[in-house]
A and B are shown apart, each in its own frame.
Chain A
Amino acid sequence: MNLQELLAKVPLLLSYPTIILSSNLIVPSHNDLISRAASTSAAEYADEKLIFFSTDHAIRLIFLPTFVASSFNLFAHYFNFINYSSRRKYYVLFTAIYFLSILTAIFHPIQSTCITLLIIKLLTTADESSPKIALNFKTILKTFVPFITLTLVILRWDPSFDASSGDVNKISTSLAAYALLILTLRYASPLILSTLSSSIGVVSKDTSVAQHSISRNKRFPLILVLPIFSFVLLYLMTIVNKTYNIQLLMVFVFFGCLSIFFLSLKDLFTEDGNQKKGGQEDEYCRMFDIKYMISYLWLTRFTILLTGIMAIVVHFLSFNEITSSIKTDLLSLLFVVVAEYVSSFSNKQPDSHSHNHAHHHSHLTDSLPLENESMFKQMALNKDTRSIFSFLLLNTAFMFVQLLYSFRSKSLGLLSDSLHMALDCTSLLLGLIAGVLTKKPASDKFPFGLNYLGTLAGFTNGVLLLGIVCGIFVEAIERIFNPIHLHATNELLVVATLGLLVNLVGLFAFDHGAHDHGGTDNENMKGIFLHILADTLGSVGVVISTLLIKLTHWPIFDPIASLLIGSLILLSALPLLKSTSANILLRLDDKKHNLVKSALNQISTTPGITGYTTPRFWPTESGSSGHSHAHTHSHAENHSHEHHHDQKNGSQEHPSLVGYIHVQYVDGENSTIIKKRVEKIFENVSIKAWVQVEPQNSTCWCRATSMNTISANPNSLPLQPIAN
């Protein structure tokens, strides 16, 4: 299952740096405003500088961190990641995220990403045996001296650096931030760890206390009120000072990536929960369990390195640069490498405590279940759909990255592509929900179960693919007559290549997912696969056409690539539509057709039976001869006689066909014997049938016109003497 962990971890690599970057961009930074104000006259600049500075400080140090920290806690609570059993826990976590948010504002986003990950790793791998001295002063200094050096060198080598007071203040601010960070880790980390541990300990002593804390948690309004209040304050601040603008799109991206972040973490934890079943259902082990999960599942070897690289990529996409010069670019990359090295150095500590963590490991208990929770668990636990679910998270994370990029770069070529990716996520979600709902038992509304839901989802995906193909064709024809000159081809290449990588991960996830299931959801998986393939071909087409346009400067290659891609998608979607249509029409294949014919032949040759009407039999599952779900009928339980023993055996054989038939018998025969014979015939060929036995002379809706014919037939008279 190491492969599955890798799939579940990829969305984390992408969503975490996007969270840090988008949280800073909710309100434009001071440097952006200064660069804009530089275009005004120097006289106004001298006057407005002081006003901007104080307002920017208020936003940066008070309002924005409050909003970020409270939103983080709100999402953690909503996704049931942290159980707030006491208010003190909320305050401690709130304060921690608050200061981390300030750090992200002071440092460069790439450095912020690496430093915050390292802090989390240090805290989760701290020694538990001596809580009073959680982190050694010497260890902290060893950890942060390289970062301090690199930060100062990067600031010094910045081309915009000069001897003016502003930049010297920037260096002083960074040094002060590092000093505050070191002191906090040295003296405040015991408080953090003891708060979390002691609050858990208090709860575990008494079950009624736990229930009381749950009920009290519902009356804890700060979780919901504080984000709204801080957002309103931010909004009022921007109204008062018209220079600032809240970027609602960045708020949307921030919330979306928080969702992806917590969903991906739960995906990882569910995976580990599968491997180790059972265990202690104790709340005391919950906190240690979370720390164990974070240190052994998320922040494993090379995680900080990969996340740092992702941060560099995201920053490049958003600002078209990493830093202002090539020297500082290399230094930032060195910063990422040093962060990984330092973390691997500190990684030696958990090895000596692995036996302790294994002792405290237990399955996650959800004391606050939600309705979404059950659907999420079914998606994540189902072997067929969990790989696709991980890919859905990755796809959604990449969609938010594209939104971020389309906003920052102001070249809106990828805005519609991002929305198109939202449509693909909807399609993936449709397939996942169908895969989960197929397992539901029969109900009053669906007496034959939802076995055909996968086929219906495949058909729906086929129809959506046809719509996408039509859109591609129309756009391609439009571009043939009205060519568009592409300007930012480099950016288009980068984003298309990233999209290609994301889709290749999706194809890989599909192969991994298809390896497990036995073909029950064949059409459903095929529909999902075609959507991923369509996106992959789209990315390949964009890359090739962009390269050709750069070489030849002919814009005709773009519509030609679109037409080819649309044709390929169409050719792959039509067989899916045909097979799903045939299955939904309840068509029998040759094997089942001969099965029914054999049964009908036996019925017609049974003595005492004069005929049959309305033989309607259809497959219980669509298009698969694998295992079928047994229909739960309590009818068999009512017969305790040995006489009906065969019927029970028949129901256990998982019939491949289900249907009904009306059988007519001669008037002198015993209807019970006739019925038993017919049922025996159907049991032998694994058909579940409702059988209605009728005397030949009786009336029925299935022979509404035959009675008139019989009564009008003069030949009925000479037949009677022979019968006598």
Chain B
Amino acid sequence: METPQMNAIQEEDNLSPEVAFQTPKLNDSDASSFSLSNMNAVGNVDGIPSQNRTFFASPRPSSLFYSAKEGNNSSSSIIYNPSFTFGENASSNANINEAALMKGKGNEGRRQSLKYIPAPKLVPPPPRTRSPVRGISPDAGSSKRSSMTLDSPFNFTTSTLQPHQQTPPSSAASRTSFRKGHRYKHSSVSMNFFQEPEVKIPLNIAKSLPIPDFNDLLSNLPWPKAYIQLSIAALQIFACLITFQVGHLYSWSNFITLSHFITYDIIGSLVIIFVENLSQFQVWFTGTITFPFGLNRIDVLLSFALAVSLCFVGLDLLFHIIEEFIVLFVESGSSLTNNHDHDEINEQIPHSHIANANDSQNENITLWYSILMINLVLSTLSLYKTFYANKYSNLKTKNPIITITYTAYLFIYPLLLDLLSSISDYLATLVISSLILWHGLTIARWTSTVLLMGFSTTSLSNSALFNNNDSTDTTAHTQQVESKAAKEKPSVRPRSMSSLPIATKNTKIRKTGFLNSAGFTENPTTIKNMIKDQIERLSEFKSRYILNYDDIVISKVNFTLYVVLIKITMKGGSDDDELMLRLAIDKCIQTSIPTCETTIDIDRI
């Protein structure tokens, strides 16, 4: 009785997000901002469609190959016809709305095809079913058939419970006969509901998931959060252009530097919006054959790219300072022809600060402060509405903090004296560029370790710099738990590989984990030794068992997921001993390293 209801609820839950995305309505006052956001999104994220198309085009050959491969097998052509239909739907998925319609058609096709399945298979199954019951033939062929018949109930059960399994074609007949026997006990409606998941789930998850293209991303922008973020980014673009133009007109090099920072804020905002939107899709969390850890590593890759860009900006500012110093040397060296060299210098180095102090203090003080105020407001909005408001995006470069710091410095700048303003400008730019370089290098080193499948221990220790990031992650997980509590349990099934159950499982352990990790250093060797000692001290770990230090492999694959691979050699021991040891080791590792996937390879001699 309960199984059909669960399936029905699952179907309704699948449809509800699409309906929710279609319902947002635009007011008359928001129509212009919406179109403006669309224009900006199209213009700024212009590189994304080609990249998505590249990713999206890759599943097509494998899908066609799979269909062709299954089509060659004549004995299973009738059974796998629905999968062929589903493959076509996946390859032609160009829009969510069209996908919904195609999914509906696919369901209808599957139901129609399922109705025809019992007919051609009615004649052969009865003899196979009868032969093991009677036990007449004692030969090997009979024993094989007997074992497969006995296995068929379990295969049927696991196919509904484990989405990665691919049903062997030789057991289809047995399952059909089972359904035939089952048919006399239940109604036809329950049989229809009961049959659907076995066809759908293995094809979805095992091979590849459709990668959303640009239109999918646009249609899935959550209202009103993403539109507010895009509006702030659009306003920042205008503010950036105005700041750059004013800085160039009045030779305010500080404004040109500020426009550089605002540009990087805009890029960071767009990256966060992109990652947040992409994380709504199943391909983000679920691992497939093509992307073993999903697309979640894009977050790490984009953080690394932005960190490298920060280093580039820092180096650029440092080089400008070096140019200024060299210009000072040249001017002091040739004091006789000062006017000519000064004009030449102003012509060829646009970042010269010499003409800056006079202009900023004479007139235009209102223009100075008004532009700074606008930029300060927009940067603060960007910081709290975009950079701190994300659930899934763990972008580590908090660019608006740098912009706000520099803007606050520029508020004080006109109050300084003529001589001090020049010196403080050098010092401020030097401090800002050094801070940017150090920050960018730190994040680049961290994210590069994750990208190289290394064991990054930063989040395991309570370092003062990244403690906020850990609290952000904790907040994100708490929000996930809350969002899970709002839903029913069957809705979790499509994301069985996602971080939701892991977050549920590890929320309590995380608190314990923080207490344990208080005394750790950031040395992977120390943590590995600690884990090895803990495993060897377990009561289930006998002295006859062998665990080498080199057989423990720990790596971090994205911002939240660790992978622990262990090889153990057991001398003696039964299946129960193996099971108890594995469960104990798994529990031990979960205590030390939260949100990890453990694989314990036990060899019994």
Contacts and interface: CB of A to CB of B under 8 A. Distances in A.
B348 interface: yes
A610 B315 contact: no
27 contacts: A247-B329, A411-B344, A446-B449, A452-B452, A460-B308, A471-B316, A478-B248, A581-B301, A588-B291, A597-B62, A615-B292, A616-B293, A632-B550, A660-B565, A662-B599, A671-B578, A671-B604, A690-B599, A692-B582, A695-B579, A696-B158, A698-B579, A702-B497, A702-B597, A704-B496, A705-B501, A722-B150
Contacts of A614: 164, 287, 497, 597, 599
Contact of B291 (A585, A607, A722): A585
Query: Which 6 pairs from chain A and chain B are nearest by CB?
Result: A660-B599, A611-B165, A616-B292, A611-B162, A444-B524, A719-B153
Contacts of A415: 323, 326, 348-349
B43 interface: no
B2 interface: yes
Given A444-B524, A446-B455, A600 B166 contact: yes
Contacts of A604: 165-168
A129 interface: no
B131 interface: no
Interface stretch (A44-52, A262-270, A707-715): A707-715
Nearest to A616: B292
B20 interface: no
A699 B2 contact: no
Contact of A463 (B305, B329, B451): B305
A416 interface: yes
A698 to B, nearest CB: 6
Interface string A391-434: 00000000000000011001111011001001100100000000
A19 interface: no
A393 B525 CA distance: 38
Interface string B161-190: 110111110100000000000000000000
B573 to A, nearest CB: 10
Contacts of A600: 164, 166, 206, 289
A3 interface: no
B482 interface: no
A666 B598 contact: no
Contact of A638 (B47, B313, B546, B579): B546
B453 A448 contact: yes
Contact of B292 (A247, A411, A617, A634): A617
Contacts of B65: 590, 594
A569 interface: no
A622 to B, nearest CB: 10
Given A659-B292, A705-B492, A664 B162 contact: yes
Contact of B452 (A245, A412, A450, A605): A450
Contacts of A713: 2-3, 157
Contacts of B563: 616, 660
Interface in B533-580: 546, 548, 550-551, 553-555, 563, 565-567, 569, 575, 578-579
Given A666-B154, A672-B604, A484 B301 contact: no
Nearest to A633: B550
A713 B7 CA distance: 13
B151 interface: yes
Contact of B322 (A419, A484, A710): A419
Given A614-B287, A722-B150, A699 B312 contact: no
B336 A712 contact: no
Interface residues of A, number: 108
A590 B207 CA distance: 11
B502 interface: yes
B348 A692 contact: no
Contacts of A638: 546, 548, 569
A593 interface: yes
A708 B348 CA distance: 73
A389 B125 CA distance: 73
A706 interface: yes
A675 B567 CA distance: 13
A690 B289 contact: no
Contacts of A691: 599, 601
Given A444-B525, A634-B548, A719-B153, A586 B289 contact: no
Given A588-B289, A616-B293, A484 B347 contact: yes
Contacts of A671: 575, 578, 604
B354 interface: no
Given A248-B329, A584-B297, A723-B153, A448 B323 contact: no
A264 B313 CA distance: 32
Interface of A: 36, 39, 245, 247-249, 406-407, 410-413, 415-416, 419, 422-423, 426, 444-448, 450, 452-453, 456, 459-460, 463-464, 466-467, 471, 478, 482, 484, 574, 578, 581-582, 584-588, 590, 593-594, 596-597, 600-601, 604-605, 607, 610-618, 632-635, 638-639, 641, 659-662, 664, 666, 671-672, 675, 690-696, 698-706, 708-710, 712-716, 719, 722-723
B332 to A, nearest CB: 8
Contacts of B71: none
B553 A587 contact: no
B583 interface: yes
Contacts of A453: 452
A424 to B, nearest CB: 12
A664 B497 contact: no
Nearest to A724: B150
Contacts of B287: 614-616
A447 B164 contact: no
Contacts of A467: 309, 312-313
Contacts of A716: 157
B164 A719 contact: no
B480 interface: no
Contacts of B551: 633-635
A395 B217 CA distance: 45
Nearest to A670: B575
Given A578-B54, A695-B575, A664 B565 contact: no
Given A249-B329, A610-B158, A611-B165, A690 B322 contact: no
Given A412-B327, A614-B597, A672-B604, A593 B289 contact: yes
Nearest to B578: A671
A586 B604 contact: no
Contacts of B161: 611, 703, 706, 709-710
B334 A452 contact: no
B123 interface: no
A607 B546 CA distance: 30
Contacts of A423: 315, 319
Given A634-B548, A675-B603, 19 more contacts: A36-B336, A245-B332, A412-B345, A423-B315, A423-B319, A445-B449, A446-B454, A452-B453, A464-B308, A484-B347, A578-B51, A582-B54, A604-B167, A613-B162, A615-B164, A691-B599, A701-B598, A719-B153, A722-B153
A456 B599 contact: no
Contacts of A703: 161-162
B74 interface: no
A18 B348 CA distance: 26
Contacts of B579: 694-695, 698
Contact of A447 (B54, B167, B454): B454
A719 B152 CA distance: 10
A581 B291 CA distance: 12
Contacts of A419: 319, 322-323
B61 interface: yes
Contacts of B493: 705, 709
Contacts of B295: 585
B103 interface: no
B336 A690 contact: no
Nearest to A36: B336
A594 B505 CA distance: 34
Contacts of A617: 289, 292
A581 B2 CA distance: 45
Contacts of A448: 452-454, 553, 555
